[in-house]
Structure 1
Amino acid sequence: MAVADLMVLVFNVILSKIKEAYFPHSFLNYTPICSFVIALVYISLDWSVWLTVTFTFDRFVVICCQSLRSKYCTMQTALKIITAVFVLSIFENIPIYFIFEPLEVINDVPWSCYVKSSFYTSPTWVAYLWFETILTPFAPFVLILLLNTLTIKHIIMSNRVRSKLRGSNTEACHTDQETENRRKSIILLVAISGNFIFLWMVNLVCFICVQFTDTQLMATDYNDSFTIAEKSGYMLRCLSTCTNTFIYAVSQRQFREELKNIIARPFLAIANIFKRLTTKLSLSKNVIK
């Protein structure tokens, strides 16, 4: 997930947005290279989103499917799923490379990427756009909501059974560490679902508007309200790739412990050096005496 999200930042933010703003006449603006970078943007986005879905499914299996847990939650399974998601993301977004044409040709060199007019009228391209949007983000919306809802339902039912088995001792229920861990899991799952849906919602609404109005995607008129909304949706979409990994990582106790160790390591090294120097000085004073 971290690698996929980093790819989104590299391709979407650095090689696309920052390049447009500060290096508009670089070699990255040649139409073939520009089209290739945009295709990489969509590949990395799909990879990031679907790894979030697979991670959500992984947590669902761990919590709700104890019989499947030992078979599914293995290093080999994870490697196969990550590879499959990456390969499918590539094949799904290959057509993206072919939807652009040069905005202008200077000295027989094609510059910039402009969406072909046929992209909005051709039945094939319209079908592809629907397929792309259903696959990302509509299907992840549904799957993440469904899996997290089932997981939360399972946790709540397990807590009720556990409370009945432990009796009606309120203080014991309040100090139950297992119940507290499950409560934190519910908060995590709700945060992931809400974060993903909220940050992708603007992008989804813009797509729906394109289908039922005369507006066009990837327009360059920054005085137009739809263009502003579309660009804001892209920004929030990039933010989503960062926050999901952050939420998953910070919620893990082992990650927090490792982070504390990394932060404390320089100070511990300095303390050890100071301790050794103090010990040597004490020994030297003893020898002199």
Structure 2
Amino acid sequence: MHGPAKGIFFAIFYPILAVIGAPANLLGTVILSRGRCGLSRCITYYLVAIAVSDFLVIITAVILNRIGRIYFQDSVLSTTPACTLSNLLVFATRDGSVWLTVAFTIDRFVAICCQGLKARYCTGKIALLVIGLVSALSCARNVPFYFIYQPLYILDGVPWFCSIKPICYTSLVWQAYDWLDHILNPFLPVFLILLVNALTVRHILAASRARRRLRGTESHGDAEITKRKRSIVLLFAISLSFLLLWATYVGHFLYVRITGEGYLTSLDFNDPRYILQETANMLQLVSSCNNVFIYAGAQNKFREELKKVLMCPFTAVTGCFKQLKHGKTPPR
């Protein structure tokens, strides 16, 4: 990219994010789908759905939208219809990823804190139903965004780029929809994750104190308490990383609403407002490729399966050489 130095950072960062994020989510999907990580079917379904959704975010938001806008500004990706469709896909996949994280958080809350409801809710069938509903609603609720864009300019009858229609900043209907959109993502997800995690922590601390009183011993060496602690590491790691990486996006939205300056749609890395906007988008996109690394850090069996999958090509080649060698060995 031939542009200012600040633009070069994003031009380098997004390809790196794509190169890391897409294979990582594919690996996570393959490993979790094998069902050998010691996780229940319910947890496995949620984690596979999150990995697939994050992979789609990398494809649509990072590769088609960000990299396409930076490196291929004069390609078909920059025409208004392609740009509009790309943005719609970005919104839908992003919402799916966010709300699947919320659904997983609620599922773990029920499993840990609501023993009476656990047997009915924390099942594979319910998990598939929730995943299907979240995916369908994430697509349906973003359809109105298809109608908010207009061409930035028309050249030889071809509409280029996407510019938000001025009516979106003045119409009460669109203003209400914009607020509703940001309430549904990320304000409500952030609130639900904070609330559910706080309730989960309170329950775990109370249960641990009660168990220590019953056992008359310290938690050190208590296998059950150790198991409980390990069971929530994955949940809290995913939830907290989501909260931290979306914080800048929330702050930018509030800044736009308070100042009334609007969103910038053209690439201008000399404008501090655009840098803030792009940094907020960049950080929330990072949340779509870090879950696999969280799995690897929190789950021993996931690391073991990861090593097996990574070594699979070398094992296959070694096996072929052994078979060839054995075939050439004369029979005794």
State TM-score, norm by structure 1.
0.88
1:20 aligns to what? 69
8 Å contact from structure 2 (residues 295, 302) kept in 1: no
Residue 237 of structure 1, CA deviation? 0.7
Residue 219 of structure 1, CA deviation? 4.0
Q: Are residue 212 (structure 1) and residue 258 (structure 2) matched? A: yes
Residue 264 of structure 1, CA deviation? 4.6
Instruction: Tell me how far apart the structure 2 counterparts of residues 107 and 128 of structure 1 sit (CA, whole Å).
Output: 34
1:242 aligns to what? 289
1:192 aligns to what? 238
Q: Which runs of 5+ in 1 are unaligned?
A: none
| Larger mean Cα displacement after TM superposition, 261-270 or 205-214 | 261-270
Instruction: Tell me how far apart the structure 2 counterparts of residues 24 and 130 of structure 1 sit (CA, whole Å).
Output: 30
Instruction: Tell me how far apart the structure 2 counterparts of residues 276 and 166 of structure 1 sit (CA, whole Å).
Output: 61
Q: Which runs of 5+ in 2 are unaligned?
A: 1-49
2:183 aligns to what? 134
1:107-152 Cα offsets, whole Å, 9 max, x none, are 1111111111221111111111100000000000011111111111
Residue 50 of structure 1, CA deviation? 0.1
Aligned residue runs from structure 1 range 86-105, under 5 A: 86-105=135-154
Residue 223 of structure 1, CA deviation? 1.7
2:307 aligns to what? 260
Q: Are residue 112 (structure 1) and residue 164 (structure 2) matched? A: no
Cα-Cα RMSD? 2.4
Q: Are residue 227 (structure 1) and residue 274 (structure 2) matched? A: yes
Aligned residue runs from structure 1 range 152-191, under 5 A: 152-168=201-217, 170=218, 173-191=219-237
2:40 aligns to what? none
Instruction: Tell me how far apart the structure 2 counterparts of residues 2 and 215 of structure 1 sit (CA, whole Å).
Output: 35
Q: Which has the higher contact order (CA 8 A, sep 6+)?
A: 2
Instruction: Tell me how far apart the structure 2 counterparts of residues 183 and 195 of structure 1 sit (CA, whole Å).
Output: 18
Instruction: Tell me how far apart the structure 2 counterparts of residues 212 and 268 of structure 1 sit (CA, whole Å).
Output: 58
CA separation of 1:57/1:249 partners in 2, compared to 1, >3 Å: closer, same or farther?
Answer: farther
Residue 266 of structure 1, CA deviation? 5.3
1:201 aligns to what? 247
Instruction: Tell me how far apart the structure 1 counterparts of residues 256 and 320 of structure 2 sit (CA, whole Å).
Output: 63
Residue 65 of structure 1, CA deviation? 1.4
State the aligned residue count: 281
Structure whose alpha-carbon radius of gyration is higher: 1
8 Å contact from structure 1 (residues 152, 186) kept in 2: no
Identical columns (%): 44
Instruction: Tell me how far apart the structure 2 counterparts of residues 113 and 272 of structure 1 sit (CA, whole Å).
Output: 53
Instruction: Tell me how far apart the structure 1 counterparts of residues 303 and 108 of structure 2 sit (CA, whole Å).
Output: 19
CA separation of 1:264/1:175 partners in 2, compared to 1, >3 Å: closer, same or farther?
Answer: farther
| Larger mean Cα displacement after TM superposition, 211-220 or 15-24 | 211-220
Instruction: Tell me how far apart the structure 2 counterparts of residues 189 and 48 of structure 1 sit (CA, whole Å).
Output: 15
| Residue among 97, 121, 145 paired with 2:194 | 145
| Larger mean Cα displacement after TM superposition, 158-167 or 212-221 | 212-221
